[in-house]
């Protein structure tokens, strides 16, 4: 609320009664009810019909007058005194009495709130109810929808909600920016930060490649060592066999060790009926 008493809602200045005046100002609703007389007079000249038209016009003018008085008494954001609260109480009672005369069977929950709770609210908080009407809430729907469209690129719901609440609060009361903590500006130039980030990425990439090459060299060295060990084992086995044959050769020549055919004296069960050619060294004596 500024020094002139105008309300501020979502960055927009709302002068006193700007919204409700559309239904509460004489120049609006009286022009509407005047159409009752105009329409009736253009369609008939019967006194009974015209009389009912005048009665209907007077009835709605009276109930709108009483409603406008209630609006002026409570729908603002100014401090209220005891006298003003009493005037608001009388305005509400007069309006509800007129409403029950016009609509005896039509009383809504909002009428109950107006009649039973509004005056108690004024006494408790000492201010008008201008910030607690439905006009701001209805306007808030479209405002929040616009802010939510800005957060479509955010993935986390918590960040979306925080952005909506912060933006909405700052639009409602821009002076709240003075209460926000000041973020320290980074003195490092943005270009330097970019090059630093690129250098870090390149360093990580080179470290990964170096590690990969190291693992490949270790694997190759391991394979070569296994192959060398295998060849060395074969060479040793061959040398061992050569030594054994050299030791056995004199005895074979002297007839001490004889070669006997395997399964000699027995017929083979093979289809060809030939004895197997495989031989084995008989046990050697001496």
pLDDT at 215: 92
Contacts of 209 (CB under 8 A, 6+ apart): none
Cα atoms found within 13 Å of the Cα of residue 116, Cβ hemisphere only:
7
pLDDT of residue 133: 73
Domain boundaries, given as residue ranges, for the chain: 7-132, 135-177, 190-260
Contact 118, 129 (CB under 8 A): yes
Could you tell me the two tokens for 138?
Answer: 């209805």
pLDDT at 134: 75
Q: Which among 120, 128, 64 has a CA at the least distance from the CA of 89?
A: 120
pLDDT of residue 162: 85
> 127 pairs with which residues across the strands?
79
Nearest CA to 15 among 4, 25, 31?
4
- Do 165 and 143 form a contact (C-beta atoms < 8 A)? no
Q: How far apart are CA 59 and CA 275, in angstroms?
A: 136
Burial of 241 (0-12, 13-18, 19+ CB in 10 A): exposed
Which residue positions in the chain have pLDDT lower than 50?
1-10, 14-25, 260-286
The tokens for 226 are 């296994």
**Tens-digit pLDDT profile for residues 20-41:** 444 444 567 788 888 888 888 8
**The pLDDT of residue 275:** 46
Residue 45 has which token pair?
A: 């000249």
Instruction: For residue 8, give the nearest of 139, 173, 179 by alpha carbon.
Output: 173
pLDDT (0 to 100) of residue 122? 94
Handedness of CA 190, 192, 197, 198 (dihedral sign): positive
Three-state SS string over 117-146 comes to CHHHHHHHHCECCHHHCHHHHHHHHHHHHH
Q: Tens digit of pLDDT for each residue in 234-286?
A: 988 888 888 888 888 877 777 765 554 444 444 444 444 444 444 444 444 43
Global pTM?
0.43
CB 10 within 8 A of CB 164: no
């Amino acid at each position: 609320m500024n020094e002139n008493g105008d309300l501020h809602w979502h960055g927009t200045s709302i002068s006193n009664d700007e919204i409700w005046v559309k239904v509460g100002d004489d120049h609006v609703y009286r022009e509407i009810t005047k159409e009752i007389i105009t329409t009736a007079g253009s369609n008939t000249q019967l006194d009974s019909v015209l009389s009912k038209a005048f009665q209907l016009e007077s009835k709605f003018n009276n109930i709108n007058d009483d409603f406008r008085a209630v609006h002026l008494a409570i729908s603002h954001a100014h401090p209220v005194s005891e006298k003003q609260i009493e005037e608001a109480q009388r305005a509400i009672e007069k309006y509800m009495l007129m409403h029950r005369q016009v609509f005896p069977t039509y009383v809504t929950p909002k009428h109950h709130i107006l009649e039973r709770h509004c005056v108690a609210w004024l006494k408790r908080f000492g201010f008008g109810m201008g910030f607690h009407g439905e006009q701001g809430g209805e306007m808030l729907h479209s405002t929040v929808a616009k802010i939510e469209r800005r957060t479509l690129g955010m993935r986390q719901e918590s960040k979306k909600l925080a952005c909506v609440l912060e933006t909405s609060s700052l639009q409602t009361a821009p002076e709240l920016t003075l209460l926000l903590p000041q973020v320290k500006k980074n003195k490092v130039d943005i270009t330097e930060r970019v090059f630093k980030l690129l250098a870090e990425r390149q360093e990580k990439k080179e470290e990964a490649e170096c590690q990969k090459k190291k693992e490949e060299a270790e694997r190759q060295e391991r394979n070569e060592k296994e192959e060398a060990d295998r060849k060395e084992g074969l060479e040793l086995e061959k040398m061992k066999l050569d030594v054994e044959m050299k030791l056995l050769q004199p005895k074979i020549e002297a007839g001490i060790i004889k070669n006997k055919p395997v399964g000699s004296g027995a017929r083979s069960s093979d289809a060809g009926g030939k004895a197997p050619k495989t031989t084995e060294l008989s046990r050697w004596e001496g």
